[in-house]
Every structure is written in C-alpha cells, then in structure tokens.
Structure 1
Amino acid sequence: MLAGIAIRPDTSVDVLWDIVDTSEPRDKPDMVLIMTVMPGFGGQKFMATELPKVKALRERYPELNIEVDGGLGPATIDDAAAAGANVIVAGSAVFGAQDPAEAIALLRKSVDARCGRL
C-alpha cells in the first residue's frame, strides 16, 4: 500500500517541507499530489500556476513520486512532466476521448519521454 499527501491550489507547497523532511523514513509519504484544479468536479481548466510547486518538490526530492491531477490532457501533460511530475491523473481527457486506451497511451508516452518508465 502507498500513502500520499495532497494539496489544493490554494495551499502553499511550504506546508509539505516539515512533513517530508522530518518524518522517519517509514513515515515519509510515498507521493505528493499537486491539484492543478480546485477539487470538486471534472472538466476544469488546467492551472499552470501550480507547476512551480511540482518543480520545487522535484528539485528538493528527486526520488519522490509527484502526482498531478486536474485538467491534464494532450495539451498540458508535457508541461506537467517537464516540471517534474511522474504520476499523472487524467479523467476527462480519458473518459471524453473516442478511444480511452489511446488517450492513456499518449499520456504515458509523454511522461515516459520526460521521466522514463517507472
């Protein structure tokens, strides 16, 4: 089982430092989820303003799984991966696609190109 921490767009990334830095190794989160939309409903527009949080996490924790959720699709996934995300959550981009399997393959290809296969 994995355990993670999520923060909303209106939460500073600074709240994570004490949790990740001072935790005992067994108590450290396996991943951090950066929401790139306000939680509540699908189909929202990706908030690129949240990518600096991803970049700060990646620079500080190179081995941490960093997940991004909200508004991700073909037009936004490269930016998320370039910022350091290596776990992508997509809802509308997959369920709204004519071929959901192809949509997932495109998302994976973009992340793999930036991060390598996990």
Structure 2
Amino acid sequence: MTKEIIIAPSILAADFARLGEEVAAIDAAGADWIHCDVMDGHFVPNISYGAEIIKAIRPMTSKIFDVHLMIAPVDPYLEGFAKAGADVITVHAEAGPHLDRSLQAIRALGKKAGVSLCPATPEGAIEYVLDRLDLVLVMTVNPGFGGQSFLDSQLEKIRRVRSMIGDRPIRLEVDGGITRDNAAAVAAAGADTLVAGSAVFRGNSSADYAGNIAAIRVAAEAARAALLRDSPARPMQLREGALIR
C-alpha cells in the first residue's frame, strides 16, 4: 500500500471561460495531479472536451495530467490523447470488448495505464489485467456529470479492490462526490488518490482552492495514517519515480 495521498482536482468543475488560468490556480494551490474528464455524449450522457483542449492547457503546469476517457470506442483515440500531453490514461472496463489490448496500447505509447469501473461493474472485471495496470479508478457516482452525490455503496468495492491490488505498485483512485466530509472514509477504505471537482473549485481564487485541497488532504491523510498504523506490518512498496514526478 502506498503512503502518500494524491489530490487530483477535476477541471470539469473549473470555469471553462478561463480554463488555463484555472489550471494554473490549482497548480499553485497544491494540486498533485490535474484530472481531465473526457466525455463523448455516447458512452456517457454528456460531452466535455477532447484532446485539443488538453493540448492547449498542457503548458500551464508541469503536474501529471490524469486523463479519464469516458468514451467508446476508445482505442482509436489513445494516441491523440498521449500526444496531447496525458501522463496517465484511464479507460473504462465497460467501454470495449478488448480491455487487455487497450491497456497494452497505452503502455506502448509510453504512458501509465489505468482502468475505471462504473458503480454497477464488479471488481472481478479487472482481475485478469491487474499486472498491466498502474491505476484503478473506482467511480463513486454514475459517470457523465459533475456535482453528483457520493454513493456509499462503493466503499465496500474500494476495500475489495484494495485487497485485489495487494502489494502491486498500483494506485487506487476514487472519483465522484469527494468532499472534505467523506475523504476520510474513502482513504480508510484503501484509496490513495482522490479526485475532487466541485469541492475544490469553490470560491474564486487560488487561495480558496488551496484551502479546499488542504481540507480534503488533511482528512484523507489522517485516515490513511490510522489505516497504516492498524495494518499488519509488511514491507511497503512506494511509488517514488513511478507515477509521482
């Protein structure tokens, strides 16, 4: 299990009229990663933005671009997002018939590979691709729209995915309705990477965003510390130099 908590603000909740400024603001506010939710109006009932927007904002920060592709088919677009500046590319287990092939393609492009699970999808869907993964993303809302409420039913799935991961150097990310009020429960269940949109982009300045990020981080880190303290002693595999730069 990794020790460090990663906070990845989702720019889906940013002010799109000044998106570049918003990316710079959350960078200065202490964001670890920049989470980019890409929606196609087909796989999910909403359209957000594509590779050209990611390419346009890439110069605004050196932070990791965590690109979550909620699109189907996904394989024809992997190269475009890789070239646009994605560092981590996450595809949905439900988005195509050949998940293993998609993950191989992401790694062949020199990027970290992630897989996402919708709330109704059991964790068994990724059992046979675990060794191709750098990240597992558990959705705690139904994908497609920001601002939804957290689904408590997914906490047990997070625990089961954490158990599946074991000592593999795979990050466990959670996306959907994350706030300072539920960040502790999510981290206690085993998540180490938290995506937050509306909860981060409250206010209108980098200082506001910094306070929001800090509140989520403090709650999650306290729960993570308790989890590590209560877990049986075993060697830790840290992600230094893998997804963290």
TM-score band by shorter chain is 0.7 to 0.9
**Contact (CA 8 Å) 1:42, 1:92: kept in 2 or not?**
yes
- Of 72, 80, 97, the match for 2:178: 72
- Give 3-state SS (helix, strand or coil) of 2:199's partner: helix
How far off its partner does 1:34 sit? 0.2
Q: Does 1:8 align with 2:114?
A: no
- Of 159, 184, 187, the match for 1:81: 187
- Of 202, 222, 232, the match for 1:96: 202
Q: What's 2:33 paired with?
A: none
The separation in 1 between residues aligned to 2:213 and 2:185, in whole angstroms, is 17
Query: Quick one: structure 1 residues 102 and 62, their matched pair in 2 at CA, closer, same or farther if it must change by over 3 Å?
Result: farther
- Give 3-state SS (helix, strand or coil) of 2:137's partner: strand
**Contact (CA 8 Å) 2:135, 2:173: kept in 1 or not?**
yes
Give the partner amino acid of 1:95: F
The separation in 1 between residues aligned to 2:203 and 2:216, in whole angstroms, is 12
The separation in 1 between residues aligned to 2:125 and 2:203, in whole angstroms, is 36
- CA deviation digits over 1:83-112, x for unaligned, max 9? 000000000101124611111111122222
Q: Does 1:105 align with 2:211?
A: no
Show the 5 A alignment for 1:2-41: 2-20=112-130, 23=131, 28-41=132-145
Q: Does 1:50 align with 2:154?
A: yes
- Give 3-state SS (helix, strand or coil) of 1:115's partner: helix
Query: Quick one: structure 1 residues 46 and 5, their matched pair in 2 at CA, closer, same or farther if it must change by over 3 Å?
Result: same
- Give 3-state SS (helix, strand or coil) of 1:32's partner: strand
Bigger CA radius of gyration: 2
**Contact (CA 8 Å) 2:178, 2:199: kept in 1 or not?**
yes
How far off its partner does 1:13 sit? 1.0
Q: What's 1:114 paired with?
A: 223
In the alignment of these two chains, the number of paired residues is: 112
**Identical columns (%):** 39
What TM-score comes out, normalization by structure 1 length?
A: 0.85
The separation in 1 between residues aligned to 2:219 and 2:155, in whole angstroms, is 16
What TM-score comes out, normalization by structure 2 length?
A: 0.43
The separation in 2 between residues aligned to 1:48 and 1:35, in whole angstroms, is 11
Q: CA RMSD in A?
A: 1.9
**Contact (CA 8 Å) 1:97, 1:103: kept in 2 or not?**
no
- Give 3-state SS (helix, strand or coil) of 2:147's partner: coil
How far off its partner does 1:60 sit? 2.4
